[in-house]
Chain A
């Protein structure tokens, strides 16, 4: 659902809004994120409350690293430590229900996704108007 959200937001062609999608967060994402004012991490969740949860995330006190992935907290910490600054960041966890190898989003998850997309539109509008931090 993360890539689907990135694609949908990219489709709005909003000035000043940049989207990206990857298999997993990695250390080089810090170099890019350090240049942004706000960052929204979006992914499917196996256990978030439906339709989605939204929370602020801050640079972690510890940096946990594996070669395959880095957590949002750790990416933000690397931003702070090595690229000068970290943006304000938030996590949007959209509840999913089927995680086997398949294409597309299940109908139940699609409903959650649509509500999350409406929320993101409103969130970005608010950011542009100086609301929501």
Chain B
């Protein structure tokens, strides 16, 4: 990528925590010796979407749940559709329906990952964790690296166009519905998207190369930063291939050994449990067989690249192999490796879009199938931020009586708490919350690309509060941003 600099004409007004979607509060508690004893990453707001959908007709769910989040509505749209396929008695939608949904999903993954890496994360990587607040934002990237940033804007725009072409419109799309889809991809829409898909692959590869260059230049620091070992969860295809749209659940441990594999959606409650803690609205899921202490895990790009056996697109597979070499035969555990993995997936999503756009099934006419109604539907999808569970119970009047959503950020809840603990341990100097500590906590949380609005099913107010307390819980220092 060409890199150039230019003078900024305008003053940029930005609060950096707006680059974490939502509103978070961090508490760091010290022990008697002044060392970090415990950290908590609190989620403050709550809206209660699971209650809200109760009483609504089951076929409305794929439309309603999109209001959970303005950033990744497609993931909720598709996860709810898949769960309601089960309720509608459809075990396998038509090839046209599945491929339309897949195209929509890869478009969403592509634009979401591009947004995160270029708009939210790259300022940290390009300008450094300690760069001034006014510099660590995408507009500074636009000013100093205009070619990089301009391509990022156009990558996101392309993903949005794919979503529009597959779901009917950019907002409140109705493309996917229980049993299938309501439109195919017209030849004109296909041609428009096909004309630019090679460019999208090329730009994704450039973004990945940029990420690798930055990471390798500071590898020692980035590998250690906020890092810890954990289990990893992802859905994978039957043969272990990465599959972001559908598959069975796999969890591996810190050494890469499988804890379980090929678990079907309907059985998730046999394997996963959610703990409620009084200080956070976000639940803490864990693997039942390992218990609360050892059963937490990570999801998202790092988990998916670690957990899969291979990727079925050539460039991304080659990149996966290079990435996995970092772990020396074990999973890669570095928190900052999320960005590298995310860019491998961006390339994969672009390659999959190209593959799908060349598939004539997208112009097929069998859009929707029907079956015998059931009262329970569970499904999952690999949303950009990680595994997303949708579980619904429906009564004889077609009304939803129960909804349980485990969103990606919730699946990463304990991991984000752990990242904050490790970073506080590494960067807390004395008994004062410094700008440096705030910056580092923010960078660590951001690696997980959390959508706090989504995880609490609320609309975020976007700010971060960090409180430092002594062993008796007395406040020593406090900093607020936002």
Give A residues with C-beta under 8 Å from B: 3, 20-24, 26-28, 30-32, 60-68, 77-78, 81-83, 101
Contact = CB atoms under 8 A, between A and B. Distances in A.
A66 B18 contact: yes
A103 B20 CA distance: 29
A62 B11 contact: yes
A61 B12 CA distance: 9
Contacts of A27: 119, 138, 153, 156
A30 B169 CA distance: 19
A65 B119 CA distance: 10
Given A20-B170, A62-B12, A81-B10, A67 B120 contact: yes
B14 interface: yes
16 contacts: A20-B170, A24-B70, A26-B156, A27-B156, A28-B156, A63-B13, A63-B139, A65-B12, A65-B18, A66-B462, A67-B21, A67-B71, A67-B120, A68-B71, A82-B153, A83-B150
Q: Is the interface of A mostly helix, strand, loop or mixed?
A: loop
A101 B14 CA distance: 29
What 8 A-B pairs are tightest by C-beta distance, nearest first?
A23-B70, A66-B18, A28-B157, A64-B13, A28-B156, A28-B153, A62-B13, A62-B11
B115 interface: yes
Given A32-B157, A65-B12, A67-B21, 6 more contacts: A21-B170, A26-B156, A62-B12, A63-B11, A67-B18, A81-B10
Nearest to A83: B150
Nearest to A29: B157
A3 to B, nearest CB: 6
A82 B119 contact: no
B153 A65 contact: no
Contact of B21 (A65, A68, A78): A68
B142 A78 contact: yes
B460 to A, nearest CB: 8
Contacts, number: 82
A66 B119 CA distance: 10
Interface in B139-158: 139, 142-143, 146, 149-150, 153-154, 156-157
B10 A61 contact: yes
Given A23-B70, A78-B142, A65 B156 contact: no
Interface in B325-363: none
Interface string B154-169: 1011001000000001
Interface string B347-390: 00000000000000000000000000000000000000000000
Contact of B146 (A22, A62, A82): A82
B183 interface: no
A111 B234 CA distance: 50
A66 B463 CA distance: 11
A66 B19 CA distance: 7
B472 interface: no
A67 B170 contact: no
A82 B139 CA distance: 10
A102 to B, nearest CB: 11
A30 B153 CA distance: 9
B9 interface: yes
B115 A67 contact: yes
A65 B170 contact: no
Contact of A81 (B21, B67, B142, B157): B142
B171 interface: yes
B388 to A, nearest CB: 19
B9 A81 contact: yes
Nearest to A26: B156
A82 B10 CA distance: 12
Nearest to A60: B10
Nearest to B21: A67
A22 B18 contact: no
Contacts of A77: 10
Interface string B213-231: 0000000000000000000
